[in-house]
Amino acid sequence: MDSTSRKQVVQRFNREVIEQGRRDAFEELMAPDFVNWSAPAGAPRDASGMWNTFEHLLRPALSDLRVDIHEQLCEGEKVTTRKTLSGVHTGPLMSVAATGRAVRIDVIDIVAVRDGRYAEHWGVNTLGAVLAQLRSA
């Protein structure tokens, strides 16, 4: 699998799983032994934890959820993506009641893509800073 194909796997995940919430695409794109090295303490590191983040945390809290990919780099099997998740805060987000405000979460992800599937994930994001801003609204 070449770097362009690996980047396309990550683009598809962002479009079909994060934006559209498609469970079928999620199942297709996740390796059975997937590990999320950036899972919060106490959260599952397997694929179920990743699905819960999008389907039970972000998607219910942010209407019109959108992912804008700004840049992607690929070295070997790892794809690094700099992106922004945005939407309108219309549902509770980690105990912060809906504010109706526009939200932007900046993210840098590294995904190991093996055999066309997500095998490992590392990431950093600005969710903590966004929550602090929403709490002070």
pLDDT tens digit sequence for 79-95: 999 999 999 999 999 98
CA atoms within 13 A on the CB side of 45: 12
Which residues neighbour 106 within 8 Å (Cβ) at sequence distance 6 or greater?
82, 83, 84, 125, 126
Report domain extents, the chain: 3-135
Q: Average pLDDT in the 40-52 region?
A: 92
pLDDT tens digit sequence for 2-25: 999 999 999 999 999 999 999 999
Q: Which CATH number fits domain 3-135: 1.10.8.10, 3.20.20.70, 3.10.450.50, 3.40.50.300?
A: 3.10.450.50
Q: Provide the sign of the torsion angle of the four alpha carbons 82, 87, 89, 92, taken in this order.
A: negative
